Structure 1
Amino acid sequence: MIINDQDYRVKGMHYTIRSAMEKDADKLSSLRVQLDGETDNMDREAGEAFIDVAGFRELIRMDTAKRNHLFLVAVASGDIVGYCRCAGSELKRFSHQVEFGVCVARSFWGYGIGREMLQSSLQWVDEQGIEKVTLKVLATNDKAIRLYETSGFEVEGVFKRDRRHADGRYYDTVVMARFADGMR
């Protein structure tokens, strides 16, 4: 799906959240590798599960065409500095829900970009009549968990010892969901 561009000015910085376009594929391919290497909060280490330019073009095409998919980017100073996706299922039994994921370049943390991409996605979810949004978050990512809770998400469960990082330690993953009003 496509949303209208949304402009923000925070702490003297201007950024725009908009739908991803095929021309973004090159930047997204390199940005994904960068972002995976900047924090342990992501599922991947830098370079893992690499998506090339053609792969991103196809992903953007698919997300644009499908009613239950959304792919947004955040643009600051002419560069893509973050992105998020809502991905739904083609299976009828799961067609009422989407899974959300977001990432923002570390040098742009603190400007509310992740929060605004989440809010834009949730607005889209509500407009589409989608009843449930799910996400997974590293259990030690307290800031993200608080953001999700203040946005209406609740913990559905915890995957114990779900991830093993480069330090050899295991980490839990928290599964969260936000339901449409009145649905549980």
Structure 2
Amino acid sequence: MQYDQTVITPKGLIVHIRNGVASDENHFDAEQESRYLEKKATSPNEIELIAFVDGKVAGTAGIDAIGAQYKVAHRAEFGIGILKEYWGLGIGRALMEACIHCAKTAGYAQLELEVVAENARAISMYQTAGFVEYGRNPKGFRSRNAGYQELISMRLEL
């Protein structure tokens, strides 16, 4: 799946969102990253996106198939990460909207995510987009600093 778009956030920030390319944008060694991004770039139903602001990586997001079997092929998992210095500027919303668009284009019926319960800003953004909570895992995430944190599972019907 391919994606390449420039958007202007409500705060007036110009954000270029495109497929990932081999570089140091992920936590793989160069060979692993190259294989991973090549797989995403040639996949008809998965994608890894990178948001650039002034040529710098500001965040990443992607959608991954839950599975290829008929019983779960309608579902995709959505994940996003924004560098702290870019929080609150609309980049997360732009990446989320790009991923929703890509998930619809890929033919998914449901997009799913997990978010730490303490992340009120992200939860609000997801709810505004139509995501609804469907479950919680009290020890779903273990932070090096905060210990166990509750995860909220959310889904969006496409």
TM-score > 0.5, shorter chain as reference: yes
Q: Describe how 1:82-101 pairs up with structure 2 within 5 A.
A: 82-88=59-65, 89-101=67-79
| AA at the equivalent of 2:6 | Q
- Residues 17-65 of structure 1 deviation map (CA, whole Å, 9 limit, x = unaligned): 11222xxx32313xxxxxxxxxxxxxxxxxxxx4222222111111112
Q: What is the match of residue 65 of structure 1?
A: 42
- Residues 143-182 of structure 1 deviation map (CA, whole Å, 9 limit, x = unaligned): 11111111111111001122333346421110110012xx
TM-superposed deviation, 1:138: 0.4
Q: Which runs of 5+ in 2 are unaligned?
A: none
Q: What is the match of residue 159 of structure 1?
A: 137
Q: How far apart are the structure 2 equivalents of 1:9 and 1:149? A: 19
Q: Does 1:120 align with 2:98?
A: yes
Name the one with the larger helix percent.
1
Name the one with the larger strand percent.
2
Q: Given that residues 5 and 19 in structure 1 are in contact (C-alpha distance below 8 angstroms), is that contact kept between their aligned partners in structure 2?
A: no
SS in 1 for 2:4: coil
Identity of aligned residues (%): 24
Decide which of 24, 27, 48 is 1:27's aligned counterpart.
24
Q: How far apart are the structure 1 equivalents of 2:146 and 2:15? A: 38
- Residues 101-146 of structure 1 deviation map (CA, whole Å, 9 limit, x = unaligned): 0001111112100110000111122222210101010011111111
Q: What is the match of residue 147 of structure 1?
A: 125
Q: Which runs of 5+ in 1 are unaligned?
A: 30-49
RMSD: 1.7
